Structures are given as structure tokens and as C-alpha cells.
Amino acid sequence: MKAALVAILFAAPALAQTSEPSRSPRDVAAAACGPKNVKFEVKQDTPPDPAQPTPGKALVYMIEDLGQCPDCVGLRGSLTDVADALTRVGMDGTWVGANQGNSYFFFAVDPGEHHLCINWQSRLELRSHAFAMANFTAEEGKIYYFRERLFPGENDYFLDLDPVNSDQGKYLVAISAFSTSRAKK
């Protein structure tokens, strides 16, 4: 009797795992970011005056900081040249814009919990597999800064998405170009 009970206890988790279809990490990331077929064009523009949140909203700055990877360029030829990396930014399953190179953009959000995602938009399959995610809870009237970074690995690339404090965020905005983006048709 005890043996049958032990067998049932060990089999239950295995049966529960098979009832949900498995999804690849890329599928999970793509669902958090936005549709994989959306591509962006990015251009550098004249930076606007520092933005303030509109009533009832919070403001999010997304800053691509490639300055943290001085060894990326030239490490293994042009495949590691990330100086013009274009990263798409998604929030809550919808793409909201993109950065290219050391640049930033910002957007307003409603108060509440949000899920951010970045993905390297590239024609090279290896690069397009790079994702990073973060979540935060926005409060009305607050400004949030997130830094996007890209690091080469042994045979792959890694994206990093981290919140930074307002002092660091303002500094990164000041030394970065302002990006405007639009989805390609």
C-alpha cells in the first residue's frame, strides 16, 4: 500500500507537467515583447526638452548604452560590431519603439504593473535571439529609467535590461542621442 502511494506521489508532478504544452524560451520572450514580424526604422533626432509625466501617467526612459562593451567591436570581426545595434522595446506584449546605438527615447504609461522587453532586431538569426526583460510598478507622476546593454558571449550575445536611479538615468540621457522610431510597413 505504501509503495503504491509513493508511486502516485512521484507520478503526479510528471503528469501535471505534460498537461501544459511546452514553449521555447524564444516563444515566451516573443509573447512578452510583441509580434516577431514587427520591424523598426530608427533615426537620430533633435533632443526634446526634458519630459515630464502628463497628469495620470508615469514616464519611462529607455536608454541603449553600448559604451559598456569596449571590446565588442573588432573582437571577432564584423560579427561583433554592435555600435549600431537596433533594439526593439516592448511593454506588456506590444512594441513601443526602438533604439539604435547609444540613444534613448521615452513614453508615457498608466500607473500599475508593467513588463518590459528588449530584443535585438537583426537579419542575423544569432543576434535576433537576444532578449532581456524587466518588470516594474509605475506610479502616477514618477519617471523611470531603464538601461539596455549588449554583451558578447563565447558564441552568443546577451542583452541586459536594468532600472537605473534618476541621477544615472539623467546622465545617460545627457550623453546619448535621441531616437525616433517607426514600424516598417
CA distance 13 to 144: 40
Give yes or no for residue 28 having a pLDDT over 90.
no
Residue 13 placed within a domain: no
Residue 7 placed within a domain: no
Residue 100 placed within a domain: yes
% pLDDT > 90, the chain: 52
Residue 122 placed within a domain: yes
Residue-number span of the structural domain to which 61 is assigned: 23-183
| Stated length of the chain | 185
Count the domains in the chain.
Answer: 1
Give yes or no for residue 136 having a pLDDT over 90.
yes
List the CATH number of the domain containing 172: 2.60.40.2890
Please name the residues in contact with 167: beta carbons below 8 A apart, sequence gap of 6 or more.
none
Residue 129 placed within a domain: yes
Give yes or no for residue 61 having a pLDDT over 80.
yes
Q: Binning pLDDT at 50, 70 and 90, where does residue 13 land?
A: very low
Residue 162 placed within a domain: yes
Greater pLDDT, 77 or 36: 36
Residue 15 placed within a domain: no
Residue 12 placed within a domain: no
pLDDT in the model for residue 6: 42
